[in-house]
Amino acid sequence: MSLSYRQPGVVLTDRRFTVPLDHAAPDGETIELYAREAVASDKAGQDLPWLLYLQGGPGFGANRFIGRQAWLDRALRDYRVLLLDQRGTGASTPANRQTLPLRGGPAAQADYLSRFRADSIVRDCEAIRPQVTGGARWTVLGQSFGGFCAVSYLSLAPEGLATALITGGLPALDAHADDVYRAAYPRIERKVAAHYARYPQDVERARRIADHLLTRDVVLPNGYRFTVEAFQSLGQMLGTGDGSHRLHHLLEDAFVRTPGGPDLSDAFQEQAQNLLSYAAHPLYAVVHESVYGQDARPTDWAAERVRAEFPQFDAAKALTGDAPVLFTGETVHPWMFDTDPALRPLRETAGILATRTDWTPLYDRERLAANEVPVAAAVYHDDMYVDTAHALETARSVRGLRTWVTDEFEHDGLRAGAPRVLDRLLALARDEV
């Protein structure tokens, strides 16, 4: 039974669906998907086309908007919107340190999670589409990893799509995870340099914090082991429009005077643990690199291995001279499964996924070259999370895809720039500009 309720300007309906865990075995085990339907209050009785929203990640549930926030306001002018919690996320059947032991040991857990990639998500969408739209095609809006899923959708089931809109999420079609991170670290370094140019006082603040963490064992209140590598990973904020400012505010009050000397303040530690913990989205860490697995080559902790090719990211070496401590970005490392109590029980499971050698392709170049679905993509110039060169190469591989390349926004342009980003994409897809 679906439950409907109201928020300012919108009618929301909770929807639940049952889908196969493995779409190749439709009569086998099932899992549950949760989605929130949203329609403008003044259009609740109208027959509107559908827009399916796929969140970034992997491992994040769909946005929990209040009323008509952000891009949703623009979408509700034209569509009924389905905000889908992709398998394993949000209110869908969960996959985390508490639930995965029900599958068995690490090998069984890894086998289970191998079915949580973009191809399975697309099959989920196609399984629920007839129940939602009555069989009509829908428009997909994919943010970041949701854009990766949209390109998989165009490869696997384009017959289900009326339009595809992608923001910051055009994946490299053939690149191995090593290629992705070799392109990523120079971008990350540029973002850090831009941050220090904006806030030069943060150079010494970051060096002081790094030195403190290298000479002491710091455990945050939630049990997170706060290492210098964990501190550097706070640079993930630099990929968003306001991230540099938020990082600056975090660093400026890091220390307090205590009877034992300067120490990291409780306020700083509280903020750091909230930013670092994967308790609310463990799949992001566990399956992150598997989104780049497409053949017999294991991902093998690519971000960690490739980082060694960029010694300037070694904080200890930076502190032996006067070099700035470099932050890192959207990278997942094996040490995270030691430092984060939400990930520790999943370390062996993640390690098995990292060595897997039977990944199947997520994209079909021939089908994309023959694409007939209107597609528009926002490509954020020097996006820290998705390589611009990879994105533009993919754009050229999808027949009819129109791009909007902009440096006005960072990776979170859909949120920060709404309704402008969605409005622009719709105009491109409709050939109105």
Q: Are 414 and 168 within 8 A, CB to CB?
A: yes
Rounded distance between C-alpha atoms, residue 384 and residue 410, angstroms: 8
Q: Are 406 and 412 within 8 A, CB to CB?
A: no
pLDDT beyond 80 at 218: yes
Please tell me the predicted confidence (pLDDT) of residue 422.
97
Q: Are 378 and 406 within 8 A, CB to CB?
A: yes
Please tell me the predicted confidence (pLDDT) of residue 1.
58
CA distances 328 to 89, 230, 232, 427, Å, are 25, 9, 5, 36
Query: Phi and psi of 255, rounded to 5°?
Result: -110, 150
User: In CATH, which of 2.40.50.140, 3.40.1160.10, 3.40.50.1820, 3.40.1190.20 is domain 3-173+363-429?
Assistant: 3.40.50.1820
pLDDT digits (tens, 9 = 90+) for 56-94: 999 999 999 999 999 999 999 999 999 999 999 999 999
pLDDT digits (tens, 9 = 90+) for 239-288: 999 999 999 999 998 999 999 999 999 999 999 999 999 999 999 999 99
Rounded distance between C-alpha atoms, residue 363 and residue 391, angstroms: 14
pTM of the model: 0.97
Confidence class of residue 3 from pLDDT cuts 50, 70 and 90? Answer: confident
pLDDT digits (tens, 9 = 90+) for 84-104: 999 999 999 999 999 999 999
Where are the domains positioned within the chain?
A: 3-173+363-429, 177-354
**CA dihedral of residues 415, 421, 423, 425 (deg, nearest 10):** -120
% the chain with pLDDT above 90: 98
**Residue 47, burial from CB neighbour count under 10 angstroms (0-12, 13-18, 19+):** exposed
pLDDT digits (tens, 9 = 90+) for 234-248: 999 999 999 999 999
Residues marked active site are found at 144, 358, 411
Tokens found for residue 134: 């009555």
For range 35-62, the mean pLDDT: 97
For range 7-24, the mean pLDDT: 97
Please tell me the predicted confidence (pLDDT) of residue 418.
80
Closest by CA position to 112, among listed 100, 125, 126, 96:
100
Confidence class of residue 2 from pLDDT cuts 50, 70 and 90? Answer: confident
pLDDT digits (tens, 9 = 90+) for 192-204: 999 999 999 999 9
pLDDT digits (tens, 9 = 90+) for 302-328: 999 999 999 999 999 999 999 999 999
pLDDT digits (tens, 9 = 90+) for 101-135: 999 999 999 999 999 999 999 999 999 999 999 99
Per the DSSP assignment, residues forming a β-bridge with 255 are: 264
Output the average pLDDT for the chain.
97
pLDDT digits (tens, 9 = 90+) for 336-379: 999 999 999 999 999 999 999 999 999 999 999 999 999 999 99
Please tell me the predicted confidence (pLDDT) of residue 86.
98
